[in-house]
Amino acid sequence: MFFPRPSDGKRLTSFEWQPIRYRNVIGLLKNPFYAGAYAYGKSEKRITVVGGRARKSYGHGKAFDDWEVLIREHHEGYIDWAEFERNQASLACNAYGRSGGQKSGRGGRALLSGMLTCGRCGRGLAVVYAGLAPGRPVYRCDRPNLMLGLPRCLGFGGTRIDAAIADGDRACGRTGSN
């Protein structure tokens, strides 16, 4: 599958078709233009004071009701507004790493990948594969380390836990990914 990308930088005067990227698909699905709407003021700038200096951050999305301008049926859309809203709700539920949302399994051999949260900080656990190929799954909370340079909250081997989950599924008569 291919997606148009500007071939002349950012001037958008000519395009090349390149393999599609995840961010292109998500950007398209989240854009109200796709549903025939014109929108302005969908995001905001935030200013915080850190160490006595003002820090600006951009691109903080607002709720539909807080957009400055929203004109539905502005032009013919690819989908109607109701379908756009259903898509937004589905995307929000499936967002990876969001607390309180549904979790979906991620890639890899670990059975609980993308489904566990840290008992200390509440963030999602990452899975790494240790040892020689194919590697043993290790669940760990890396976020404090990656974001703040702090030690990991916790980490533990996943081989025994994954085996217990698989045995539990067999004991209940389930097979595969139910």
What pLDDT, on the 0 to 100 scale, is given for residue 170?
Answer: 59
Alpha-carbon distances of 154 from 69, 100, 124, rounded to whole Å: 46, 21, 11
What pLDDT, on the 0 to 100 scale, is given for residue 47?
Answer: 93
Burial code (b: 16+ CB inside 10 Å, e: under 16) for 116-154 equals bebeeeebbbbbeeeeeeeeebbbbbbbbeeeeeeeebe
What pLDDT, on the 0 to 100 scale, is given for residue 34?
Answer: 92
Residue 40: both structure tokens together = 């302005």
Binned at pLDDT 50, 70 and 90, residue 178 comes out as: very low
Residue 70: both structure tokens together = 């929203």
Tell me the pLDDT tens digit for each residue of 1-14.
788 888 876 777 88
* Rounded Cα gap, residues 56 and 41, in angstroms: 17
Q: Which of 23-32, 77-86, 151-160 has the highest mean pLDDT?
A: 77-86
117: which DSSP letter? Answer: B
The dihedral built from the CA positions of residue 81, 82, 85 and 90, taken in this order, carries a sign that is negative
Residue 33: both structure tokens together = 């233009």
Tell me the pLDDT tens digit for each residue of 104-161.
555 677 888 878 888 888 888 889 888 876 788 999 988 777 767 778 888 899 989 8
